[in-house]
Amino acid sequence: MNAAHGCNAICLGGPCHGLLTHIDQDIGALTIPVPHRPETRARYRITRERVRYRGQAEPYVALHWADQPPACTTAVPGRSVPPPASGP
């Protein structure tokens, strides 16, 4: 563990990207409070991936964002959105 701050994991992607945190589990998913929005939480998946930073003795566990991005709701007058492409 990175003793200087007690963090052993880093969030990658999503609203908590780059946030350092401490986890006590090896597998699964967890929710992280979104900075500056304490009522909101984002789901992250624990991975086997490790991220190294210069000056830190131990690598961080990579937590990948697991929530789906919000659907696009912006409409442009006079333009239609094409349907999704179908497979071959």
Query: Above 90 in pLDDT, residue 33?
Result: yes
Residue 55 belongs to a domain:
yes
Residue 57 belongs to a domain:
yes
Query: Above 90 in pLDDT, residue 59?
Result: yes
Residue 47: domain span: 9-65
Considering Cα of 56, then 61, then 67, then 68, what sign does the dihedral take?
positive
Residue 17 belongs to a domain:
yes
Q: What percent of the chain has pLDDT over 70?
A: 73
Q: What is the four-CA torsion angle of 31, 50, 24, 9, rounded to 10 degrees?
A: -50
Q: Distance (Å, rounded) from C-alpha 18 to C-alpha 32?
A: 12
Q: What is the pTM of this model?
A: 0.70
Residue 1 belongs to a domain:
no
Total structural domains within the chain: 1
Contact 56, 2 (CB under 8 A): yes
First to last CA, the chain: 48
